[in-house]
Amino acid sequence: MRKKVIAGNWKMNMLPNEAIEYIQTFEPMVKNSKAEVILCVPYTDLFYCIMNAQNTNIKIGAQNMHFAENGAYTGEVSGKMLKAIGVEYVIIGHSERRQYYNETDESVNKKIKSAFENDLKPIVCVGETLEQRESGETEKIITTQTKLALDGLSKEQVKNTIIAYEPIWAIGTGKTATSEDANNSIKAIRNEIKKIYGEDVSENVIIQYGGSVKSSNAKELFTTSDIDGGLVGGASLKPEEFSKIVNYDE
């Protein structure tokens, strides 16, 4: 049985003092969770969050990284730097980065490889636009993105990759894919992984859903056959609301 993995993506929100207060409030609410609980926070909050989440079941992730280890890349942060301060997870290829910062399937692939070289667990985002969905291309888009993202990885690495299926039209819009739709898209991704890496890998890889997940729809989404948890944006900014999502099965 695959474990549920529920990650908050704070995006560009929360000052360090707010982050510390959040973790102090949130920790007792989720301490008995059977799911893996991750907070992906801005770079400036990472170290504070890591220190404050020590000896708890909350894991800390970044929201992006550069693929090089170091060098003349002004303003960038490498996987090696993240690892050095105790980061465990990193979101790679979020649609906002693909859309606003020219992230491509190729750079996503390089970043995932670099994440593994630095012993970080990547949370890799794929998802279709509304236009692509309406023209019936969803499955083709998301399976191609998955294939290109994972190109050249070993079976073991793919098993340790978390994929987040995030339909772009559902992000921050209040529109959620129906649980059936989301589950079918995730099945298509799992099937693509099976074709390339075999059943052992496809049955073990964690595939999350993201896009307007909230406490009122988490249970319906997370109890389908193939959705292994969620990547949660807006609803992860409030500890009470996010704890209800983490504790969806109570």
Cβ closer to ligand 13P: 97 or 113? 97
Cβ closer to ligand 13P: 94 or 98? 94
Distance CA 74, CA 112 (A): 21
Question: Which residues are annotated as catalytic?
Answer: 94, 166
Instruction: Identify the CA nearest to 14 among candidates 30, 4, 25, 5.
Output: 25
Is 45 within 8 Å of 82 (Cβ atoms)?
no
Write out the residues near ligand 13P by the rule CB under 6 A.
9, 94, 166, 171-172, 210-213, 231-235
Q: Tokens 């075999």 appear where?
A: 198
> Quick one: 86 exposed, middle or buried, by C-beta within 10 A (0-12, 13-18, 19+)?
middle
Cβ closer to ligand 13P: 197 or 214? 214
As measured in angstroms, the least distance from the Cβ of 169 to ligand 13P is 10
As measured in angstroms, the least distance from the Cβ of 22 to ligand 13P is 16
Distance CA 235, CA 242 (A): 6
Cβ-proximal residue to ligand 13P, closest one? 233
As measured in angstroms, the least distance from the Cβ of 211 to ligand 13P is 5
Instruction: Identify the CA nearest to 126 among candidates 161, 159, 164, 153.
Output: 164
Cβ closer to ligand 13P: 202 or 215? 215
Distance CA 16, CA 12 (A): 12
Q: Tokens 């906002």 appear where?
A: 96
Cβ closer to ligand 13P: 173 or 191? 173
As measured in angstroms, the least distance from the Cβ of 156 to ligand 13P is 26
Phi, psi (degrees; rounded to nearest 5) at 33: -65, 140
- For 60, the 3-state DSSP assignment is strand
Distance CA 18, CA 119 (A): 28
As measured in angstroms, the least distance from the Cβ of 89 to ligand 13P is 12
